[in-house]
Chains A and B, each alone.
Chain A
Amino acid sequence: MARRRSSVRRAGGGRRIPAGVLLGIVLAIGAVVLIGTQAGRTPQTEAVMQTGDDGAAAAGRVATGPARAGEGFFDRLFGGWNSAARIEELEAQNRELQAWRDLAERLAERNRRYEALLRMPPDTFGEGADIENSIAAQLVLDSGGPFMRTLVANAGELHGVKVGYIAVNENGLVGRVVSVGQHSSRVLMLDDYNSRIPVMGESSRVRAVLAGQATRRPELSLYPYQLQAPRMDFIVGAQSLREGERVITSGDGGLYPRGISVGVAQRERDGTWRVSLAASQQPIDFVRIIPFIPVDPPEDTADPNATPPLGSSSSVAVIGRETMAPPPTAPSATPTQRPPAQRQQRTAQNEPATPPQPQQEAPPPAEPPPATPPQ
């Protein structure tokens, strides 16, 4: 009887479609509609996903609490066995690091003097990253699925996190905030298939785009901004890239500050370059979410009264203006051979129309030389 009640008789036939199957079909169609409408990822439905993230983050904190507490307990318990050896090891490391710090300070001071001599503009490494206002957060949820690589951190809008902030850990870049709830934020990791970030080799300066693959280490595409273009076009640049070279963010595109450690370049057997992510050297637990304000793009038209970037007193700027050729003017007609007198007259007529030539920085008006040079 119950079986009969739970079944639906198809009109005109003797076979019955069980109610469970009918419900399954309806729910499956509804699920496909949800996928088609991108439910949870559009601005209209994103709030539902963010609220769900907040709830899941709270549950994740509770669920992982005992495991984290247990880890800390066992670390403390077993860490006491070899504490003396560990202290000696750390002291040796400390002595070595002090020597490195002295060397680094000397080199930095020397570098500063060189830059002052050359009048170099300040380095843009890390420009735009507001380190002082960074927000520390703990990872409470992983993506939990085979398709995407995201993580949820327990700091959200109430903590000052906004979409576009970057997430780093103690080893390097982790990703970028793509969604923010009240108490949590979702970070798109570098190995997600959606992740594309401009990077460069630290010493070779070879530029590339790091394309996440979600299953393997991120692939290094050596053709900037055209991920599916033939990579042979940049093979010259690729030859400069070295195995084991540090890869850092290049800052191109304005999504990430320049100079953040991403990983180490490694060449595969098939010739493609990949990056072993620095952030994944150890399990990601705490992340630092850093506000990032990209560098403003240059104005469309330069202010004529603005001083040159290097300063008017810069010798480089002066030499550049003195040696700069006048801008070319379009010829009004085909040049013909004219007598010298006519040529001079025509030149005199056209003189007002020609653009003013760059004036040399004239010395002060000549004065009659003194009888004796001043000492």
Chain B
Amino acid sequence: MNAFSARAPSRGVLRAWGLALAVLSVILPALPLGPLFSQPPLPLAVLWAAYGWAAEDESGWRAPVTLAVLGLVHDQLAGGPYGLFAAIYLSAYLVGRVLAVLMSAPNLVSLWGGFIGTALFTIGVAYVLARLGLGRNVSVLPYAEAAIITAIIFPLVRPLYMSNSPSLRPGARR
């Protein structure tokens, strides 16, 4: 065996990195570290996590609770009201499960298409809920920009959140 060959990181390590990226995407825009970390260029990594966990058939309590907590932290940093980002992230998780079933072919295009659908759905959710929570004058455009950027970058970070293997996906053709 070649001594210099590097082992591919395990699934658990990748998932931990994915979670860290999601947490950082919530916290970093709130820190005054300059325009590099300001929205909307920074992608919403929590959407990746929500879709990835949904597609990987996370049937336990951890995925929705983690998403709700991240959403509430995001709401706190943004100045409220509580529940806005939590609802957006949870809706991504719920619709991600449906789209992961519909687009369950084990190829990147299918996975990417599912995430694009999820991101677009969250824009609609954000439009409705932001008007409910923040008033009619609020603009959903910055969120839409961030969601689209998130969808474009998705193939680069997909291994952190989901595998190509269809074995764990709900309703996947096995």
Question: A23 near B31 (CB under 8 angstroms)?
Answer: no
In-complex Cβ contact of B32 among A18, A24, A34, A284 (8 A): A284
Question: Given contacts A147-B130, A215-B139, is CB(A139)–CB(B86) below 8 Å?
Answer: no
Judging by beta carbons under 8 Å apart, are A148 and B75 in contact? no
CA distance A36 to B134 in the complex (A): 10
Complex partner residue of B143 from A36, A142, A147, CB under 8 angstroms:
A147
A35 contacts B59, C-beta separation under 8 Å? no
CB-CB < 8 A to A140: which residues of B?
32
Contact A141 B32 (CB under 8 A): yes
19 example contacts (A-B, Cβ-Cβ < 8 A) are as follows A19-B59, A19-B61, A20-B60, A25-B94, A27-B67, A33-B83, A35-B84, A35-B87, A35-B129, A35-B132, A49-B76, A56-B77, A60-B32, A67-B31, A144-B29, A145-B74, A147-B139, A193-B137, A215-B141
Cβ contacts B113-141/A at 8 Å (1 or 0 each) = 00000000000000001101111011111
Number of A residues near B (Cβ < 8 Å) is 55
B156 to chain A, nearest CB (A): 21
Contact A24 B94 (CB under 8 A): yes
Task: Give chain A residues whose Cβ lies under 8 Å from the Cβ of B78.
Answer: 143-145, 147-148, 150
Interface: A160 (CB within 8 A):
no
A179 to B80, CA, bound (A): 12
User: Contacts A144-B29, A215-B139 hold; do A19 and B60 have CB atoms under 8 A apart?
Assistant: yes
As a 0/1 sequence over residues 137 to 181 of chain A, the CB contacts with chain B under 8 angstroms (1 = contact) are: 001111111111011000000000000000000000000000100
Residues from chain A with Cβ under 8 Å of B71 in the complex: 31
Does B40 sit at the interface, judged by CB under 8 A? yes
- The answer to whether B90 touches A27 (Cβ under 8 A) is yes
Stretch of A37-45, A258-266, A294-302, A353-361 lying at the B interface: A37-45
A62 to chain B, nearest CB (A): 10
Given A23-B64, A35-B129, A35-B132, A214 and B87 contact (CB-CB distance below 8 Å) = no
Provide the bound-state CA to CA distance between A143 and B40, in Å.
12
Q: Which residue of B lies closest to A3 (CB)?
A: B59
CB of B80 within 8 A of CB of A142, answer no
